[in-house]
Structure 1
Amino acid sequence: MGIKKVWFVTGASKGLGLALVKRVLSEGDQVVATSRNLADLKKTISEETADFLPLEMDLVDENSVALAIAKSMEKFGRLDVVVNNAGYGQLGTIEELTDGESRQNFDTNVFGSLNVIRKAMPHLRAQQSGMVINIASIGGFIGDFAGWGIYCATKFAMVGFTEALAAEIKEFGLYATVVMPGYFRTDFLKGSSLRTPSNEMEAYTVARELQVAHEEAINGNQPGDPEKAAVALMALAQMENPPVHLALGSDAFQMANGKLAALEKEYSEFRELSTSTDY
C-alpha cells in the first residue's frame, strides 16, 4: 500500500463532498472534512478517528478557515489534496437578484474558496507537493442559462482563478485543476443548496420555466452518479500531470464541446472585425 494522502474537503456533509470523503476513507487515505455544521459531519460520516478529522468551518470567515487548516496540520502534519467543494446555487435573473443575494453567492462560492487556498498554500509550497481541486460547474464554462447568471458568474470566476493559480504554483511542483460537473444526483437542486430569488418577476418567463424544470423535472433525474464522481476525483489526484480543466459527466463533456464549436464558429465569423484594430 502506498503512502496515505491527506485530503482537505469543504462542503463535506452532503452531495459530491460526502461521496468523495466516504470513498477516500474507504480507500485508506486520510481526510479533513469541513462543514458549517459539525453535527452533520459526525452523523453522515463519523466521529473523529486516526484517519478522519471533522471540523466546523465558516468559509467566509478567514479566522475560521485559518484555524481549520492549523488543526489539520496539527493532526496530520501535511496536506496533499485540497478540494474546494462547498458552495450553493442561486437562482434568479440579473435584474431580480439583489446586491446582497449576488454578493452572498460570490462570498461563499468564490471568496470562500480563495480563503482556503490562501491559508493552505504556505503548507503546500513548503512541501513542494500537492494539488488544489476546485469544484466549479459546467456553468462555469457555459453561461447561457436564463436565471442562473450570478451562479454561473461565480463558477466562471473559479475557472479563471484556477487557471492563474495553476500557472503561479507550477514552479513549486504543485498543481491546480478546476472540475466542471454536469448534473449529478445529489441534493444540490433542493433545500439550502439552491436558493430562489426573494424578488421573483413573472415577466421573465424563460427563467421561471427553467427554474421550475430544475426544481421539479431535473431534480432526482440527474444522469451523474456521485459515487463515480468520487472515483474520478481520486483518479485525478493520482495523476502525475493532471489537467487544468476537467469536465465531469457525459452531459458536461457534451456541453463543453458544443460551446467550443460555437466559440470557434463565432470567432471565425467576426475575425475581420476582431483584427481590424491594430496599427
Structure 2
Amino acid sequence: MNDQQVWFVTGASQGIGLVLVKRLLAEGYKVAATTRKINELKENVGDLPGFLPLEVDLASEQSVTEAISRTVEKFGRLDAVVNNAGFGMLGALEELSLKEIKTEFEVNVFATINVIRQALPQLRRQGSGHIMNVTSIAGWKGDSGASVYNSSKYAIEGLSDALAGELLPLGIKVTAIAPGPFRTNFLGKGSVHYADPAIADYEHIHQHKQWLDENQHGKQLGDPKKAPDIFIKVFNTDQPPVHVLMGSDAVRIVNSQLQRLQDEISAWEAISVSTDFKENRS
C-alpha cells in the first residue's frame, strides 16, 4: 500500500523533483526529499505527514549516509530511490575550465553513484527496491555545445544499464528515465551554467545559446505536472524497463538517433568485422 512505501528523492526543491514529491505525498506515499535549500523546500511542500525534508550535500558520503539513515529510522524502510539532482554545463569544451567540468561530473555522476552506494545496503537487507536515475535525451544523443553535459548523462545511462543486471538477482530494480525538454526552469537561472564565450571560432555555439533562450525556454512540449505519471507507473510495474523516455520530443529524437547509429553500423559492418582472426569467422 502507498502509505507503507517510502521514496527518497534528490533535487527536490524545484522542477520535476518538486512536482514528483508533491504528487507522491498526495497519493499517500512517504517521501524523504533532499535539497541544498531546505527552507525553500519546506515552503514549497508544506508540513505534511509522511514528509521528511533533508538538507544534504550529495557529494559527501557522510551527508548521504546520514540522510539514508534518517529516512529508514523515520519510515522503517526504503522502496524507491530517485536520483533527480543535476544541472547543465553548456558551452564549447575548450571554453570550459577543468574545474567547471569536474563540477558537472561531481553533481551529475558522482553524487548519483554516492546515493546509490549508500542506499544499497538497506535495499539488499530488504531484498527489494527500485533505483530510478533521471538522465536526459542528452544521454542518448550528443548536441553541439553540450559535450560535458552529454558525457555526464551518457555515463548515467551506462551505469543504469550495468546496474540493472548487477542488482536484479538481489531483487533490486533499476530504471534510467530520460526526459526530453520539459517546461521547467532548467534553462533558467540556477539549473544551467554557460561557459564564457571566449573563443570567436565557436560563434556557432554562442548563437545556439541565444536560440535556446528565444525558442526553447518556456516553450518546451513537456508538461512537468504529467512527469510523475511515468515514475509511479514504472515503480508499480512488475518488470519495469531499464530505459524509458519521457516526452514526445524524447521519443522522436532518440528514435532518429538509433536509426542513424544503425545506418552507420551497417555501412561500416564489413570493415568492422574484418579485424577477427580468420579461423573464427562464420
User: TM bucket by the smaller chain?
Assistant: over 0.9
| Separation in structure 2 between the aligned mates of residue 56 and residue 225 of structure 1, nearest angstrom | 27
CA 1:232/1:72 → structure 2, altered by over 3 Å: closer, same or farther? same
For residue 164 of structure 1, report the CA deviation from its aligned partner: 1.0
For residue 215 of structure 1, report the CA deviation from its aligned partner: 2.4
CA 1:254/1:112 → structure 2, altered by over 3 Å: closer, same or farther? same
| Counterparts of residues 90-129 of structure 1 (less than 5 Å) | 90-129=89-128
Amino acid at match of 2:246: L
| Separation in structure 1 between the aligned mates of residue 52 and residue 238 of structure 2, nearest angstrom | 27
Query: Is 1:51 aligned to 2:46, yes or no?
Result: no
Query: Is 1:41 aligned to 2:38, yes or no?
Result: no
Q: Deviations over 1:124-171 (max 9, x none)?
A: 11111110000000000101x111000010000000111111111001
Show the counterpart of 2:31: 31
For residue 104 of structure 1, report the CA deviation from its aligned partner: 0.3
* Contact residue 85 and residue 135 of structure 1 kept, 8 A: yes
| Separation in structure 2 between the aligned mates of residue 207 and residue 278 of structure 1, nearest angstrom | 41
Q: Deviations over 1:69-110 (max 9, x none)?
A: 111011001110100000001111111111100000000000
Paired residue total: 277
Give 3-state SS (helix, strand or coil) of 2:78's partner: coil
Give 3-state SS (helix, strand or coil) of 2:111's partner: helix
* Contact residue 3 and residue 28 of structure 2 kept, 8 A: no
Give 3-state SS (helix, strand or coil) of 1:78's partner: coil
Q: 1:153 aligns with which of 151, 169, 173?
A: 151
Show the counterpart of 1:197: 195
Amino acid at match of 1:5: Q
| Separation in structure 2 between the aligned mates of residue 85 and residue 2 of structure 1, nearest angstrom | 21
Show the counterpart of 2:78: 79
| Counterparts of residues 130-149 of structure 1 (less than 5 Å) | 130-143=129-142, 145-149=143-147
Cα-Cα RMSD: 1.1
Show the counterpart of 1:234: 232
* Contact residue 81 and residue 130 of structure 1 kept, 8 A: yes
* Contact residue 97 and residue 199 of structure 1 kept, 8 A: no
Give 3-state SS (helix, strand or coil) of 1:177's partner: strand
Q: Deviations over 1:232-269 (max 9, x none)?
A: 21111100000000011000001111011111100000
Query: Is 1:164 aligned to 2:162, yes or no?
Result: yes
* Contact residue 139 and residue 156 of structure 1 kept, 8 A: yes
Amino acid at match of 1:246: V
| Separation in structure 1 between the aligned mates of residue 60 and residue 190 of structure 2, nearest angstrom | 19
Amino acid at match of 1:30: K
For residue 2 of structure 1, report the CA deviation from its aligned partner: 5.3
Show the counterpart of 1:251: 249
Give 3-state SS (helix, strand or coil) of 2:82's partner: strand
CA 1:16/1:112 → structure 2, altered by over 3 Å: closer, same or farther? same
For residue 200 of structure 1, report the CA deviation from its aligned partner: 3.3
Q: Deviations over 1:17-49 (max 9, x none)?
A: 0010011111111100100111111011123x4
Question: What percent of counterpart residues are identical?
Answer: 44
* Contact residue 2 and residue 28 of structure 2 kept, 8 A: no
| Separation in structure 2 between the aligned mates of residue 111 and residue 167 of structure 1, nearest angstrom | 20
Q: Deviations over 1:48-72 (max 9, x none)?
A: x430000000111111111111110
* Contact residue 92 and residue 200 of structure 1 kept, 8 A: no
Where does the alignment leave 5 or more consecutive residues of structure 1 unmatched? none
| Separation in structure 2 between the aligned mates of residue 70 and residue 206 of structure 1, nearest angstrom | 48
The 10-residue stretch of structure 1 (228-237 or 115-124) with the greater mean CA deviation from structure 2:
228-237
| Separation in structure 2 between the aligned mates of residue 214 and residue 124 of structure 1, nearest angstrom | 40
CA 1:182/1:2 → structure 2, altered by over 3 Å: closer, same or farther? closer
TM-score, length basis structure 2:
0.96
| Separation in structure 1 between the aligned mates of residue 79 and residue 23 of structure 2, nearest angstrom | 16
